Amino acid sequence: MTVKIGGHAGRVGVGGRNQQFALYCATKVAGENIAVLSAGTDGIDGNSSAAGAIVDGTTRERARSRGLPLDHALVEFNAFPLFDALDDSIITGPTGNNIRDLQVLLAW
């Protein structure tokens, strides 16, 4: 998976492709009984301390109720601060293994 970074020139958000993917998924599963986990097996996602994040059908509403700009974070490639505030970051620390990224979707 690759992420083409846009946003404002000279500004770099905090996060990586797994958190960006999870954040995008949060916009698609809002209100649904679906959870998505996206994380790197090396324990590091982009320039953040997280391996990735987990979202579900409540993520968008939980962000809104806390005044966290989910759509802005998505556009600015700044997923980590949002997930950190929601306590939805996956923090493992470096694992010493870099096999691949892992995405899991659970629908019930």
Q: Which domains occur in the chain, in start order? A: 17-107 (3.40.1480.10)
The CA distance from 55 to 38, in Å, is: 9
Q: Tell me the mean pLDDT per 10 residues along the chain, length 108.
A: 60 89 98 98 95 98 97 94 98 93 97
> Which pLDDT score is estimated for 2?
63
Instruction: Please give the structure tokens belonging to residue 91.
Output: 């923090």
Check residue 55 and report its DSSP letter.
E
**Using CA of residue 89, residue 38, residue 54, residue 13, what is the dihedral sign?**
positive
Q: Is-contact 4 69, C-beta < 8 A?
A: no
> Which pLDDT score is estimated for 12?
73
Does this model's pTM top 0.85? yes
> Which pLDDT score is estimated for 105?
98
